Amino acid sequence: MKKISLLFLLFPLIIKAQTPDADSLFIHAMAVNILSSDASHNNLHYLTKNIGGRLSGSPQMYLAEQWGAKALQAAGADNVILQQCMVPHWIRGGKDKAFVLYKEGNKQQKYQLNVLALGNSDGSGPNGVTAALMRVNNFDELEARKNEVSGKIVFYNVPFDDTLVSPFAAYGKNVIYRSIGASRAAKYGAVGMLMRSMTNTPGNYPHTGSLRYIDSLKKVPAAAMGLDDVKKLDSLFDNNIAVTASLFTYGRMLPDTIAHNVIGQLKGSESPEEIITVGGHLDSWDAAEGANDDGTGIVQTIEVLRVLKALNYHPKHTIQFVLFANEENGTRGAKKYAEEARLKNEQHIFALESDAGGFTPRGFSFEADAEAWQKLNSWKHLFSPYYGDRFETGEGGADIGYLKEALQTPQAGLNPDPQRYFYIHHAATDVFENVDIREMKLGAINMAILIYLVDKYGLH
Protein backbone atom coordinates (compact mmCIF):
# COMPACT_ATOMS: atom_id res chain seq x y z
CA MET A 1 0.00 0.00 0.00
CA LYS A 2 2.85 2.37 0.74
CA LYS A 3 4.30 1.86 -2.75
CA ILE A 4 0.92 2.44 -4.34
CA SER A 5 0.37 5.55 -2.27
CA LEU A 6 3.80 6.87 -3.22
CA LEU A 7 3.16 6.33 -6.94
CA PHE A 8 -0.24 7.94 -6.53
CA LEU A 9 1.38 10.96 -4.96
CA LEU A 10 4.07 11.16 -7.65
CA PHE A 11 1.73 10.58 -10.58
CA PRO A 12 0.88 14.26 -11.20
CA LEU A 13 4.61 15.12 -11.24
CA ILE A 14 5.34 12.31 -13.70
CA ILE A 15 2.53 13.43 -16.01
CA LYS A 16 3.69 17.05 -15.82
CA ALA A 17 7.27 16.06 -16.73
CA GLN A 18 6.09 14.10 -19.75
CA THR A 19 3.60 16.69 -21.01
CA PRO A 20 4.91 19.08 -23.65
CA ASP A 21 4.70 22.72 -22.67
CA ALA A 22 2.62 25.27 -24.59
CA ASP A 23 5.55 26.36 -26.75
CA SER A 24 6.38 22.81 -27.81
CA LEU A 25 2.74 22.17 -28.64
CA PHE A 26 2.42 25.30 -30.73
CA ILE A 27 5.72 24.65 -32.48
CA HIS A 28 4.63 21.11 -33.26
CA ALA A 29 1.39 22.48 -34.71
CA MET A 30 3.38 24.83 -36.95
CA ALA A 31 5.59 21.97 -38.11
CA VAL A 32 2.63 19.74 -38.91
CA ASN A 33 0.95 22.53 -40.83
CA ILE A 34 4.03 23.40 -42.90
CA LEU A 35 4.95 19.79 -43.65
CA SER A 36 1.43 18.90 -44.75
CA SER A 37 0.83 22.03 -46.86
CA ASP A 38 1.45 22.32 -50.61
CA ALA A 39 1.76 26.11 -50.42
CA SER A 40 5.56 26.29 -50.38
CA HIS A 41 5.88 23.80 -53.25
CA ASN A 42 3.34 25.68 -55.33
CA ASN A 43 4.89 29.08 -54.61
CA LEU A 44 8.40 27.96 -55.52
CA HIS A 45 7.19 26.18 -58.65
CA TYR A 46 5.39 29.29 -59.87
CA LEU A 47 8.28 31.62 -59.07
CA THR A 48 10.85 29.46 -60.85
CA LYS A 49 8.90 27.98 -63.74
CA ASN A 50 6.48 30.79 -64.59
CA ILE A 51 8.82 33.71 -63.90
CA GLY A 52 12.36 32.30 -63.85
CA GLY A 53 15.56 34.35 -63.48
CA ARG A 54 14.84 37.75 -61.95
CA LEU A 55 17.76 40.09 -62.47
CA SER A 56 17.17 43.64 -61.23
CA GLY A 57 15.56 45.79 -63.92
CA SER A 58 14.41 42.83 -66.00
CA PRO A 59 10.78 42.17 -66.98
CA GLN A 60 10.92 39.03 -64.85
CA MET A 61 11.82 41.08 -61.79
CA TYR A 62 8.66 43.14 -62.14
CA LEU A 63 6.57 40.00 -62.62
CA ALA A 64 8.14 38.65 -59.44
CA GLU A 65 7.22 41.79 -57.52
CA GLN A 66 3.59 41.45 -58.62
CA TRP A 67 3.59 37.76 -57.74
CA GLY A 68 5.21 38.45 -54.36
CA ALA A 69 2.57 41.01 -53.39
CA LYS A 70 -0.22 38.58 -54.29
CA ALA A 71 1.48 35.69 -52.49
CA LEU A 72 1.84 37.75 -49.28
CA GLN A 73 -1.81 38.76 -49.50
CA ALA A 74 -2.88 35.15 -50.03
CA ALA A 75 -0.79 34.09 -47.03
CA GLY A 76 -2.77 36.50 -44.84
CA ALA A 77 -0.80 39.73 -44.58
CA ASP A 78 -2.70 42.56 -42.91
CA ASN A 79 -1.09 44.96 -45.34
CA VAL A 80 1.30 44.79 -48.32
CA ILE A 81 3.64 47.68 -49.10
CA LEU A 82 5.73 48.28 -52.21
CA GLN A 83 8.77 50.23 -51.02
CA GLN A 84 10.40 51.95 -53.99
CA CYS A 85 14.14 52.00 -54.54
CA MET A 86 16.49 52.63 -57.45
CA VAL A 87 18.51 49.65 -58.63
CA PRO A 88 21.29 48.94 -61.14
CA HIS A 89 20.13 47.68 -64.52
CA TRP A 90 22.68 45.40 -66.15
CA ILE A 91 21.78 43.29 -69.17
CA ARG A 92 23.70 40.35 -70.58
CA GLY A 93 22.89 41.44 -74.11
CA GLY A 94 23.54 38.15 -75.90
CA LYS A 95 24.96 34.64 -75.72
CA ASP A 96 28.39 34.68 -74.11
CA LYS A 97 30.99 32.52 -75.80
CA ALA A 98 34.71 31.88 -75.86
CA PHE A 99 37.20 29.51 -77.43
CA VAL A 100 40.92 28.87 -77.35
CA LEU A 101 43.38 28.08 -80.14
CA TYR A 102 46.56 26.09 -79.64
CA LYS A 103 48.88 23.82 -81.62
CA GLU A 104 49.07 20.09 -81.18
CA GLY A 105 52.15 19.09 -83.12
CA ASN A 106 51.82 21.05 -86.36
CA LYS A 107 48.02 21.03 -86.26
CA GLN A 108 45.99 24.01 -85.08
CA GLN A 109 43.31 23.03 -82.57
CA LYS A 110 40.20 24.91 -81.46
CA TYR A 111 38.49 24.22 -78.14
CA GLN A 112 35.14 25.79 -77.20
CA LEU A 113 34.75 27.10 -73.64
CA ASN A 114 31.45 27.27 -71.77
CA VAL A 115 31.41 30.73 -70.21
CA LEU A 116 29.14 33.24 -68.51
CA ALA A 117 29.97 36.95 -68.40
CA LEU A 118 30.26 38.29 -64.88
CA GLY A 119 27.43 40.54 -63.77
CA ASN A 120 27.96 44.29 -64.25
CA SER A 121 30.79 43.66 -66.72
CA ASP A 122 31.20 45.54 -69.97
CA GLY A 123 30.94 43.48 -73.13
CA SER A 124 33.74 42.77 -75.54
CA GLY A 125 31.77 44.13 -78.49
CA PRO A 126 30.58 42.10 -81.49
CA ASN A 127 34.11 41.41 -82.71
CA GLY A 128 35.19 40.00 -79.39
CA VAL A 129 38.62 40.20 -77.81
CA THR A 130 41.39 37.90 -79.03
CA ALA A 131 44.75 37.71 -77.27
CA ALA A 132 47.30 35.39 -75.75
CA LEU A 133 45.97 33.73 -72.60
CA MET A 134 48.03 34.02 -69.42
CA ARG A 135 47.34 31.75 -66.45
CA VAL A 136 47.92 33.03 -62.90
CA ASN A 137 47.11 31.19 -59.69
CA ASN A 138 46.64 34.17 -57.38
CA PHE A 139 47.15 37.92 -57.12
CA ASP A 140 50.69 37.44 -55.84
CA GLU A 141 51.61 35.72 -59.08
CA LEU A 142 49.89 38.48 -61.04
CA GLU A 143 52.05 41.04 -59.26
CA ALA A 144 55.20 39.01 -59.77
CA ARG A 145 54.52 38.73 -63.51
CA LYS A 146 52.95 42.14 -64.06
CA ASN A 147 55.37 42.98 -66.87
CA GLU A 148 53.96 40.06 -68.89
CA VAL A 149 50.30 41.08 -68.62
CA SER A 150 49.94 43.88 -71.19
CA GLY A 151 47.84 42.93 -74.21
CA LYS A 152 46.84 39.53 -72.78
CA ILE A 153 43.69 37.92 -71.40
CA VAL A 154 44.37 36.91 -67.81
CA PHE A 155 43.03 33.54 -66.64
CA TYR A 156 42.65 33.29 -62.84
CA ASN A 157 42.83 29.67 -61.75
CA VAL A 158 42.15 29.79 -58.01
CA PRO A 159 40.45 26.63 -56.71
CA PHE A 160 38.34 26.42 -53.59
CA ASP A 161 40.23 25.31 -50.51
CA ASP A 162 38.61 21.91 -50.03
CA THR A 163 40.32 21.43 -46.69
CA LEU A 164 37.82 23.92 -45.24
CA VAL A 165 34.71 22.14 -43.95
CA SER A 166 32.53 25.14 -44.80
CA PRO A 167 32.28 25.89 -48.53
CA PHE A 168 31.22 29.41 -47.56
CA ALA A 169 34.66 29.92 -45.99
CA ALA A 170 36.28 28.80 -49.25
CA TYR A 171 33.99 31.10 -51.22
CA GLY A 172 34.86 33.97 -48.89
CA LYS A 173 38.56 33.50 -49.64
CA ASN A 174 38.12 33.37 -53.42
CA VAL A 175 35.31 35.77 -54.26
CA ILE A 176 37.70 38.72 -54.43
CA TYR A 177 38.97 37.36 -57.77
CA ARG A 178 35.48 37.63 -59.20
CA SER A 179 34.89 41.02 -57.62
CA ILE A 180 38.02 42.94 -58.66
CA GLY A 181 40.11 40.48 -60.67
CA ALA A 182 39.30 42.17 -63.96
CA SER A 183 40.46 45.57 -62.72
CA ARG A 184 43.58 44.14 -61.10
CA ALA A 185 44.52 42.62 -64.47
CA ALA A 186 43.57 45.79 -66.38
CA LYS A 187 45.91 47.76 -64.14
CA TYR A 188 48.80 46.10 -65.98
CA GLY A 189 47.29 46.32 -69.45
CA ALA A 190 45.20 43.14 -69.73
CA VAL A 191 42.48 43.27 -72.40
CA GLY A 192 40.19 40.71 -70.82
CA MET A 193 39.71 38.28 -67.94
CA LEU A 194 38.62 34.64 -67.65
CA MET A 195 38.30 32.89 -64.32
CA ARG A 196 37.65 29.58 -62.65
CA SER A 197 34.05 29.61 -61.40
CA MET A 198 33.29 30.03 -57.71
CA THR A 199 32.58 26.33 -57.17
CA ASN A 200 34.29 23.08 -56.31
CA THR A 201 31.82 21.01 -58.32
CA PRO A 202 33.03 18.77 -61.15
CA GLY A 203 31.28 19.40 -64.43
CA ASN A 204 31.22 22.30 -66.80
CA TYR A 205 28.62 24.77 -65.64
CA PRO A 206 30.00 28.31 -65.34
CA HIS A 207 28.92 30.35 -62.31
CA THR A 208 28.31 34.07 -62.76
CA GLY A 209 28.16 36.75 -60.05
CA SER A 210 28.80 40.43 -59.57
CA LEU A 211 31.96 42.22 -60.64
CA ARG A 212 33.10 45.61 -59.40
CA TYR A 213 35.25 47.74 -61.68
CA ILE A 214 37.76 50.21 -60.27
CA ASP A 215 36.71 53.46 -61.94
CA SER A 216 40.20 54.71 -62.71
CA LEU A 217 41.03 51.60 -64.74
CA LYS A 218 39.87 50.31 -68.12
CA LYS A 219 36.74 48.17 -67.98
CA VAL A 220 37.70 44.91 -69.66
CA PRO A 221 35.29 42.06 -70.44
CA ALA A 222 35.23 39.27 -67.86
CA ALA A 223 33.68 35.80 -67.74
CA ALA A 224 33.72 32.60 -65.68
CA MET A 225 34.11 29.02 -66.93
CA GLY A 226 33.24 25.57 -65.61
CA LEU A 227 35.77 23.21 -64.07
CA ASP A 228 36.02 20.81 -67.00
CA ASP A 229 37.24 23.69 -69.14
CA VAL A 230 39.68 24.66 -66.39
CA LYS A 231 41.13 21.14 -66.50
CA LYS A 232 41.55 21.42 -70.26
CA LEU A 233 43.38 24.72 -69.99
CA ASP A 234 45.54 23.42 -67.17
CA SER A 235 46.59 20.48 -69.30
CA LEU A 236 47.75 22.89 -72.01
CA PHE A 237 49.61 25.25 -69.69
CA ASP A 238 51.18 22.37 -67.75
CA ASN A 239 52.65 21.15 -71.04
CA ASN A 240 53.95 24.62 -71.94
CA ILE A 241 51.57 24.94 -74.89
CA ALA A 242 50.88 28.54 -75.94
CA VAL A 243 47.17 29.39 -75.89
CA THR A 244 45.26 32.18 -77.63
CA ALA A 245 41.75 32.98 -76.40
CA SER A 246 38.81 34.73 -78.01
CA LEU A 247 36.11 36.10 -75.75
CA PHE A 248 32.71 37.41 -76.86
CA THR A 249 30.43 39.07 -74.30
CA TYR A 250 27.72 41.70 -74.72
CA GLY A 251 26.90 43.02 -71.27
CA ARG A 252 26.21 46.67 -70.56
CA MET A 253 24.90 48.87 -67.79
CA LEU A 254 21.75 50.88 -68.42
CA PRO A 255 20.59 53.78 -66.26
CA ASP A 256 19.35 52.89 -62.79
CA THR A 257 15.70 51.93 -62.73
CA ILE A 258 12.85 51.62 -60.24
CA ALA A 259 12.31 48.45 -58.22
CA HIS A 260 10.53 47.64 -54.97
CA ASN A 261 10.93 45.83 -51.71
CA VAL A 262 7.70 43.88 -51.30
CA ILE A 263 6.68 43.99 -47.64
CA GLY A 264 3.87 42.07 -45.98
CA GLN A 265 2.87 43.06 -42.45
CA LEU A 266 1.26 41.40 -39.47
CA LYS A 267 0.33 44.17 -37.04
CA GLY A 268 1.39 43.75 -33.43
CA SER A 269 -1.31 43.46 -30.78
CA GLU A 270 0.71 44.80 -27.81
CA SER A 271 3.76 46.67 -29.12
CA PRO A 272 2.99 47.42 -32.78
CA GLU A 273 5.70 50.09 -32.91
CA GLU A 274 8.37 47.41 -32.39
CA ILE A 275 9.23 45.57 -35.60
CA ILE A 276 10.55 42.09 -36.33
CA THR A 277 11.82 41.54 -39.87
CA VAL A 278 12.05 38.23 -41.70
CA GLY A 279 13.00 37.99 -45.36
CA GLY A 280 15.04 36.90 -48.35
CA HIS A 281 15.87 38.46 -51.71
CA LEU A 282 13.50 38.32 -54.65
CA ASP A 283 16.03 39.03 -57.39
CA SER A 284 18.34 36.42 -58.90
CA TRP A 285 20.87 36.05 -61.68
CA ASP A 286 19.55 35.53 -65.18
CA ALA A 287 21.33 32.29 -66.04
CA ALA A 288 18.86 30.03 -64.22
CA GLU A 289 15.63 30.06 -62.21
CA GLY A 290 17.00 31.42 -58.93
CA ALA A 291 15.55 28.46 -57.05
CA ASN A 292 17.95 28.10 -54.11
CA ASP A 293 19.30 31.64 -54.51
CA ASP A 294 17.00 32.90 -53.25
CA GLY A 295 13.65 31.45 -54.25
CA THR A 296 13.68 29.14 -51.25
CA GLY A 297 14.33 32.04 -48.87
CA ILE A 298 11.42 33.95 -50.39
CA VAL A 299 9.08 30.97 -50.13
CA GLN A 300 10.17 30.26 -46.54
CA THR A 301 9.48 33.87 -45.61
CA ILE A 302 5.97 33.66 -47.03
CA GLU A 303 5.48 30.30 -45.31
CA VAL A 304 6.25 31.79 -41.88
CA LEU A 305 3.52 34.35 -42.49
CA ARG A 306 1.09 31.73 -43.77
CA VAL A 307 1.53 29.34 -40.83
CA LEU A 308 1.16 32.06 -38.20
CA LYS A 309 -2.10 33.16 -39.79
CA ALA A 310 -3.29 29.59 -40.31
CA LEU A 311 -2.88 28.88 -36.59
CA ASN A 312 -4.56 32.18 -35.66
CA TYR A 313 -1.45 33.52 -33.95
CA HIS A 314 -1.65 37.19 -32.98
CA PRO A 315 1.87 38.61 -32.66
CA LYS A 316 2.75 41.03 -29.90
CA HIS A 317 5.06 42.97 -32.22
CA THR A 318 4.62 43.98 -35.84
CA ILE A 319 6.26 41.40 -38.07
CA GLN A 320 7.39 42.49 -41.54
CA PHE A 321 7.95 39.85 -44.21
CA VAL A 322 10.32 41.43 -46.70
CA LEU A 323 11.05 40.27 -50.24
CA PHE A 324 14.16 42.38 -50.80
CA ALA A 325 15.08 43.89 -54.15
CA ASN A 326 18.54 43.79 -55.75
CA GLU A 327 20.67 41.74 -53.39
CA GLU A 328 22.73 40.20 -56.19
CA ASN A 329 24.35 43.26 -57.74
CA GLY A 330 23.90 46.14 -55.37
CA THR A 331 21.85 45.41 -52.19
CA ARG A 332 19.93 48.59 -52.96
CA GLY A 333 16.68 47.19 -51.55
CA ALA A 334 18.29 46.39 -48.22
CA LYS A 335 19.91 49.83 -48.06
CA LYS A 336 16.54 51.48 -48.73
CA TYR A 337 14.76 49.40 -46.07
CA ALA A 338 17.33 50.31 -43.42
CA GLU A 339 17.51 53.96 -44.51
CA GLU A 340 13.75 54.45 -44.20
CA ALA A 341 13.73 52.69 -40.84
CA ARG A 342 16.41 55.07 -39.59
CA LEU A 343 14.76 58.20 -41.02
CA LYS A 344 11.40 57.22 -39.49
CA ASN A 345 13.07 56.36 -36.19
CA GLU A 346 11.51 52.90 -36.29
CA GLN A 347 12.20 50.38 -33.54
CA HIS A 348 13.52 47.21 -35.16
CA ILE A 349 14.07 44.65 -32.41
CA PHE A 350 15.12 41.63 -34.48
CA ALA A 351 15.77 40.58 -38.09
CA LEU A 352 16.06 37.12 -39.68
CA GLU A 353 17.23 36.25 -43.20
CA SER A 354 17.25 33.11 -45.32
CA ASP A 355 19.75 33.28 -48.19
CA ALA A 356 21.82 30.11 -48.09
CA GLY A 357 19.64 27.70 -50.03
CA GLY A 358 16.77 25.39 -49.23
CA PHE A 359 18.85 22.54 -47.83
CA THR A 360 18.36 20.70 -44.53
CA PRO A 361 18.60 23.25 -41.69
CA ARG A 362 21.43 23.01 -39.21
CA GLY A 363 20.82 26.11 -37.10
CA PHE A 364 21.40 29.84 -37.13
CA SER A 365 24.18 32.40 -36.97
CA PHE A 366 23.43 35.29 -34.61
CA GLU A 367 24.67 38.83 -34.13
CA ALA A 368 23.35 39.82 -30.73
CA ASP A 369 24.58 41.02 -27.33
CA ALA A 370 25.44 38.72 -24.44
CA GLU A 371 22.01 38.92 -22.80
CA ALA A 372 20.21 38.05 -26.02
CA TRP A 373 22.71 35.28 -26.78
CA GLN A 374 22.02 33.67 -23.39
CA LYS A 375 18.28 33.82 -23.97
CA LEU A 376 18.55 32.40 -27.48
CA ASN A 377 20.56 29.46 -26.20
CA SER A 378 17.90 28.71 -23.57
CA TRP A 379 15.56 27.90 -26.49
CA LYS A 380 17.83 25.43 -28.28
CA HIS A 381 15.89 22.38 -27.06
CA LEU A 382 12.81 23.63 -28.92
CA PHE A 383 14.71 23.53 -32.22
CA SER A 384 16.30 20.11 -31.68
CA PRO A 385 13.43 17.99 -33.07
CA TYR A 386 13.61 20.02 -36.31
CA TYR A 387 17.42 19.88 -36.82
CA GLY A 388 17.92 23.60 -36.21
CA ASP A 389 19.71 23.68 -32.85
CA ARG A 390 23.26 24.46 -33.97
CA PHE A 391 23.63 28.08 -32.82
CA GLU A 392 26.75 30.09 -33.59
CA THR A 393 27.83 33.69 -33.69
CA GLY A 394 28.24 35.37 -37.05
CA GLU A 395 26.57 37.63 -39.57
CA GLY A 396 22.86 37.37 -40.27
CA GLY A 397 23.01 38.17 -43.97
CA ALA A 398 23.61 40.78 -46.64
CA ASP A 399 20.10 42.23 -46.64
CA ILE A 400 19.53 42.58 -42.90
CA GLY A 401 23.11 43.65 -42.23
CA TYR A 402 22.19 47.25 -43.01
CA LEU A 403 19.68 47.24 -40.14
CA LYS A 404 22.54 46.26 -37.86
CA GLU A 405 24.58 49.21 -39.13
CA ALA A 406 21.72 51.72 -38.97
CA LEU A 407 19.90 50.68 -35.80
CA GLN A 408 22.04 48.04 -34.05
CA THR A 409 19.27 45.53 -34.64
CA PRO A 410 20.03 41.99 -33.40
CA GLN A 411 19.91 39.58 -36.30
CA ALA A 412 20.13 35.97 -37.41
CA GLY A 413 20.68 34.01 -40.59
CA LEU A 414 19.29 30.55 -41.24
CA ASN A 415 22.15 28.08 -41.75
CA PRO A 416 21.18 25.13 -43.92
CA ASP A 417 23.69 22.38 -44.65
CA PRO A 418 26.17 24.17 -46.96
CA GLN A 419 27.87 21.30 -48.76
CA ARG A 420 25.75 21.40 -51.94
CA TYR A 421 25.18 25.12 -52.18
CA PHE A 422 28.05 25.95 -54.51
CA TYR A 423 27.07 23.15 -56.86
CA ILE A 424 24.32 25.46 -58.11
CA HIS A 425 25.19 28.97 -56.89
CA HIS A 426 24.75 31.49 -59.76
CA ALA A 427 24.79 28.66 -62.33
CA ALA A 428 22.30 27.24 -64.82
CA THR A 429 21.74 24.36 -62.39
CA ASP A 430 19.91 26.56 -59.84
CA VAL A 431 16.50 25.25 -60.84
CA PHE A 432 13.36 23.99 -59.13
CA GLU A 433 14.38 20.36 -59.65
CA ASN A 434 17.46 20.89 -57.47
CA VAL A 435 15.40 21.86 -54.43
CA ASP A 436 14.25 19.20 -51.98
CA ILE A 437 10.88 20.57 -50.92
CA ARG A 438 10.87 18.75 -47.59
CA GLU A 439 14.28 20.14 -46.67
CA MET A 440 13.06 23.62 -47.62
CA LYS A 441 9.99 23.12 -45.39
CA LEU A 442 12.20 22.15 -42.45
CA GLY A 443 14.02 25.45 -42.90
CA ALA A 444 10.72 27.31 -42.84
CA ILE A 445 9.75 25.49 -39.63
CA ASN A 446 12.91 26.62 -37.87
CA MET A 447 12.44 30.18 -39.08
CA ALA A 448 8.86 30.14 -37.77
CA ILE A 449 10.04 28.80 -34.40
CA LEU A 450 12.57 31.61 -34.03
CA ILE A 451 10.15 34.35 -35.03
CA TYR A 452 7.49 32.96 -32.67
CA LEU A 453 9.87 32.83 -29.70
CA VAL A 454 11.37 36.26 -30.27
CA ASP A 455 7.91 37.75 -30.65
CA LYS A 456 6.52 36.03 -27.55
CA TYR A 457 9.45 36.52 -25.19
CA GLY A 458 11.69 39.20 -26.69
CA LEU A 459 15.47 39.08 -26.47
CA HIS A 460 15.91 41.18 -23.32
Per-residue pLDDT, 3: 43
b or e along 49-84 (b: 16 or more beta carbons within 10 Å of the residue's beta carbon)?
eebbbbbbbbebbbebbebbbebbeebebeebbebe
pLDDT tens digits in sequence order for the chain, 460 residues long = 444 444 434 434 433 444 469 999 999 999 999 999 999 999 999 999 999 999 999 999 999 999 999 999 999 999 999 999 999 999 999 999 999 999 998 899 999 999 999 999 999 999 999 999 999 999 999 999 999 999 999 999 999 999 999 999 999 999 999 999 999 999 999 999 999 999 998 899 999 999 999 999 999 999 999 999 999 999 999 999 999 999 999 999 999 999 999 999 999 999 999 999 999 999 999 999 999 999 999 999 999 999 999 999 999 999 999 999 999 999 999 999 999 999 999 999 999 999 999 999 999 999 999 999 999 999 999 999 999 999 999 999 999 999 999 999 999 999 999 999 999 999 999 999 999 999 999 999 999 999 999 999 999 9
Per the rule left: phi > 0, alpha: psi between -120 and 50, beta: everything else, 397 is left
Predicted TM-score of the model (pTM):
0.93
Q: Is the dihedral of CA 318, 321, 325, 331 positive or negative?
A: positive
Same domain, 308 and 432: yes
Domain endpoint, select from 210, 227, 250: 250
Same domain, 406 and 389: yes
Same domain, 305 and 162: no
Per the rule left: phi > 0, alpha: psi between -120 and 50, beta: everything else, 394 is left
Same domain, 296 and 431: yes
Cα-based angle 179, 183, 189 (whole degrees, multiple of 5)? 155
Long-range contacts of 28-32 (CB under 8 A, 24+ apart): 29/311, 30/307, 30/308, 30/311, 30/445, 30/448, 30/449, 30/452, 31/385, 31/386, 31/445
- In 3D space, the residue among 60, 57, 54 whose CA is nearest the CA of residue 88 turns out to be 57
Chain center to CA of 199: 15
- In 3D space, the residue among 193, 159, 157, 198 whose CA is nearest the CA of residue 175 turns out to be 198
Same domain, 445 and 407: yes
Per-residue pLDDT, 277: 98
- In 3D space, the residue among 455, 443, 428 whose CA is nearest the CA of residue 225 turns out to be 428
Establish if 7 belongs to a structural domain: no
Chain center to CA of 267: 28
Per-residue pLDDT, 5: 45
Q: Is the dihedral of CA 381, 387, 391, 396 positive or negative?
A: negative
Per-residue pLDDT, 357: 98
**Contact indicator for 154, 142 with CB cutoff of 8 Å:** yes
**Contact indicator for 382, 24 with CB cutoff of 8 Å:** yes
Residues 6+ apart with CB under 8 A from 97: 112, 113, 115, 248
Residue 217's domain is classified under what CATH number? 3.50.30.30
Distance CA 221, CA 436 (A): 36
SS3 457: helix
Residue 274's domain is classified under what CATH number? 3.40.630.10
Per-residue pLDDT, 4: 43
Establish if 5 belongs to a structural domain: no
Establish if 301 belongs to a structural domain: yes
CA-based radius of gyration for the chain? 25
Please give the residue range of the domain that contains residue 48.
Answer: 22-87+255-457
Establish if 380 belongs to a structural domain: yes
Establish if 44 belongs to a structural domain: yes
Domain count, the chain: 2
Compute, in degrees rounded to 10, the torsion defined by CA atoms 363, 364, 368, 370.
Answer: 20
Per-residue pLDDT, 140: 98
Domain endpoint, select from 217, 250, 283: 250
